[in-house]
Amino acid sequence: MSLAPVVRDDFSAPFFEALAEGRLLLRYSLSSGEWSEPAARFCSLTQADDLEWREASGRGALVSWTVKPGRPVDDRPAADAVIGVVETEEGPWLTLLLPDADVALLRVGAPVEVAFVQPEGSEHLPVGVLRS
């Protein structure tokens, strides 16, 4: 299963610009010193409105996941899709497709690194790579 295409809007332009350069940005509050998820307009801890984009490490750990069985098309088998919720080192959670993930490695706390792919007709998008 592949990623669905996503296009930028004004708010997300810096985020997607950075993804294209292989960098992950999250939202950072100057007043609280806390990080929030990319979609956040307010600090997810203090509701402060002083968020700015800041580069994150791109490393995290698995919180939860699901495996969606692939739907065969024209008798061609389709691979299962592993989708994980990843807690970044900075704190925010990201929902990431984990392409070609070994389901035997799925466990809470499993290390995940963010990688970057560009589906057809889409901005670059983050995906997760499980590290054993």
How far is Cα 106 from Cα 84, in angstroms, rounded to an integer? 9
Our finding on whether 63 is near another protein (CB under 8 A) is yes
From the CB of 61, what's the least distance to another protein, in Å? 10
Identify the residue among 24, 56, 97, 112 touching another protein (CB under 8 A).
97
Helix H or strand E segment including 19? helix 13-20
- Degrees, nearest 5: CA angle 84-110-37: 50
Interface with another protein, residue 81, by CB under 8 A = yes
DSSP state letter for 66? E
Verify binding: residue 117, another protein, rule CB under 8 A. Answer: no
Q: Which of 51, 94, 101, 130 is in the footprint of another protein by CB under 8 A? A: 94
> What is the spatial distance between Cα 114 and Cα 23, in angstroms, rounded to a whole number?
9
62 neighbors 86 (Cβ within 8 angstroms): yes
Query: Judged by CB, which is closer to another protein: 1, or 48?
Result: 1
In the complex, the residues that contact another protein under the rule CB under 8 A are: 1, 3-9, 11-12, 15, 35-39, 44-45, 63-69, 81, 83, 85, 87, 91-97, 107-108, 122, 125-127
